A and B are shown apart, each in its own frame.
Chain A
Amino acid sequence: MVEANGTSLVEMRGIHRRFGDTHALRGVDLTLRAGEIHALLGSNGAGKTTLVRILAGLDRPDEGTVHVRHQLIERFDPKRLRTMGVALVQQHFTLVPTLTASENLVLARPDGWRRGPGRSESARLAQLIERTGLSVRDDVPAGRLSVGEQQRLELLRALDADARVLLLDEPTAVLTDQEAESLLSVCRALAAEGRALAFISHRLAEVFDGADRVTVLAEGREVVRDEPVANHTRSSLASAMIGHESSGTFTDRGGREGSRVDARLVLSGIEVGRLKSIDLSVAGGEIDGVAGVDGNGQSDLEAAVSARVEMKVGKVELDGVTLIPGNPRNRRDRGLAYIPSDRYQFGLVGSMDLSDNLDLGRVPRWRRSRTKRRAGRVDELTLWDVRTSGPGARASSLSGGNAQKLVLARELDGTPKAVLACYPTRGLDPGAADSVAARLVRCANEGAAVLWIGAELDELLAVADRIVVLAGGRLLGPFFPPYDRAAIGLAMAGESHEVTLR
């Protein structure tokens, strides 16, 4: 059954979804119509992925209704929604990497228990390729295909099952420009066949190149609701994505009291992962904010500056001394504090107690007895306001805010010369976020060079003395106060004239 263009295939109404304390979706509507491409925009954590996962049956709404082809969905089950014609192409692919393209197709939709010889399976793939114009090699395992090909294979698999509603979660984030361009033209062709498409994106250019309608989410709410793309300009969407002036819950940077030392923390010519020749010099007594959307090299920058990885090219210097990659104690001894983005993976050992976690990175050759170790940490925990049953509690028992305070207590102890803070307020409630920000501001006031990689633009605007944007592995800017939000927003969306993505 093929619906006429313009018929609505999906109707989501008043969708709410909560995860613990976070309210990911707060009453969102979404309509997808046959023959249309719908762009879903929003910054990290706005709720886009949650929304499409619900539609694909991978998650369920707490409130609200979902109709697919006029049928009310009561049981959210991926298999059921797949048979109803909904297919989701996720950011991480669900192909089996060791199987070839044709084998992946057969696995998803086998013809009986016996498989034909490889020839017949390849022929099936070839037919599908011919029908859709999506080309994929069949002579290597799927894991060795380029990401663009893998994505086309995911699409082929969806089309093999004759999906009428195609959901693409950031399909272009991992693609080269040419691949992204060809994907968009494929999408247009698929829509022309009467399918409904929705894609999540951070790149404004694609929205104007490919989409017919646009919805922008911010903090789980729709700030632009199902409007024709033609009604918008790039800057209107950019400011909608970034959100409006916030109430300023974050600590203002205020006047710096300490003396400003030029070029304390210096990154020169760093190339690793997605980073392309990163140069940055952070002055002592200053907070440099790195804005940008996740996946543009943020994790590589974190790994490089924290000296966790060997770099192909480039080095990190602190007060003129080069940090030794792969030697974390050297980093600490030189005076670089590191607040990792994932505190549970890189900052804390959840199964060990708080006093042990405070020892991490500075444990003496001989340790005192456990009782004395714990007793010796009581004051420190009080000082840093870590609310816990005591130093003997396991780190995994702490709430997010208290876990972060524990990391701060360890890393900011003494007077660090520089601080690398990666998403230091992520996942914290406003009170905790504020106190963490205040601690970092105090570090800068005491003369430390602070490099703050952040996701919340409002927060960076409030605390940073200077903002650079990391997009496509390159640094754009710097921007100085008073900040031009629109300019920063455009740079974050990869729209700056200074840069061509990849």
Chain B
Amino acid sequence: MDVLLKIATLEAAIRLSIPVALAALGALISERTGVLNLGLEGMMLSGAFAGYMANEVTGSPWVGLLAGIVVGCGFGALLALAVVTIRANQVVTGIAFTLLASSGTTYLFQLKYSIGQKPPRVDRLGMPPLVAMTLVCVFALWFLFQRTTIGLAMAATGESPEAADALGYRVVRLRWIAATLGGGLAGLGGAALTCGPLGLFIRDVTAGRGWVALALVVFAGWRPGMAVAGAFLFGLSDACQLRLQGTKTDIPYEVFLALPYVVTLAALVLRARASRTPSALAVPFVRGVH
């Protein structure tokens, strides 16, 4: 019985960690290239919404995932336009994008389903394809950064755009690519939530998971494998919290609710000095001004 419970918790942990893991990978790719994506929560949320709607219309959760990716990519490209090309402030732009996605999805959802009307549950993907997809994404990111020249150039762009530029790489283009792909991954993470175990969209369904993903990237020291491991720890903590909520225990379940964030804070403090942060993160690139 005890073992079964543990397996159940573990399963829940994996289920809860997948959307966060995907979004964290999205944040990672754009941050490694120097674009801080504080719109991540919003991109996740819009991906979740698009995924749900597409799923509901077509009846296929796979189309839902695709819609999540497409909308996420679109949002990511908009972010690139604002912060890479127009060079708007990355922090404020990101926050504004999140606010826009949050209110936009709420508005569109309210348009479709007026208050009181119960939105239908959609077809759900099982765990195996979602887990496989996440693993593929981790491998893809590992491959990108370890085994391709463009990945190396991306990392160089996030670290020293002047050096990358001097070697003939197109800093602006690489950042566009990274922000767009990052948005796509975040959108996929959101869609994995609504087309995956939940099968539902509700207002602010991502509930801050995008922000957690951003923090996880810091925690992971910008390494894909560590980011997914961190996401799993988050999922585990979340699963414990959900399990404990119904039971009487010595430790209040809120401790587990807060735990991921406290751990992230600790990691932030420990990592801040380690200086793994891409040096050019959130710094707009202007040729000849450095």
Contacts and interface: CB of A to CB of B under 8 A. Distances in A.
Interface of A: 78-79, 94-99, 103, 106-108, 110, 112-118
Contacts of A97: 159-160, 279
A94 B152 contact: no
A107 B162 contact: no
B150 A113 contact: yes
Contacts of A118: 146
Contact of B149 (A94, A98, A99, A115): A115
B222 to A, nearest CB: 9
Contacts of A113: 148-150
B156 A107 contact: yes
B164 interface: yes
Nearest to B169: A107
A114 B167 contact: no
Interface of B: 146-150, 152-153, 155-156, 159-160, 162-164, 166-168, 276, 278-279
Contact of B155 (A79, A96, A108): A96
Contacts of B152: 99, 103, 106-107, 110, 115
Contacts of A95: 160, 163
A95 B156 CA distance: 9
B159 A98 contact: yes
B121 to A, nearest CB: 44
Contact of B162 (A94, A103, A112, A117): A94
Main secondary structure on A side of the interface with B: loop
Contacts, number: 52
B153 A107 contact: yes
B166 A78 contact: yes
A106 B148 CA distance: 10
A78 B152 CA distance: 21
A106 B155 CA distance: 13
A114 B148 contact: yes
Given A78-B166, A94-B163, A96-B163, A110 B149 contact: yes
Given A79-B168, A95-B163, A115 B156 contact: no
Contact of B148 (A96, A115, A117): A115
Contacts of B162: 94
16 contacts: A94-B160, A94-B162, A97-B159, A97-B279, A98-B278, A99-B152, A99-B159, A107-B153, A107-B164, A108-B167, A113-B149, A113-B150, A114-B147, A114-B148, A115-B149, A115-B152
B32 to A, nearest CB: 10
Contacts of B153: 107
B155 to A, nearest CB: 7
B149 A96 contact: no
A363 to B, nearest CB: 29
Contacts of B276: 98
Nearest to B145: A115
A78 B167 CA distance: 9
Closest 4 CB pairs of A and B: A110-B149, A96-B156, A94-B163, A96-B160
A426 B155 CA distance: 39
A79 B162 CA distance: 13
A407 B147 CA distance: 54
A110 B152 CA distance: 10
A113 B156 CA distance: 15
A107 B165 CA distance: 11
Contact of B159 (A79, A96, A115): A96
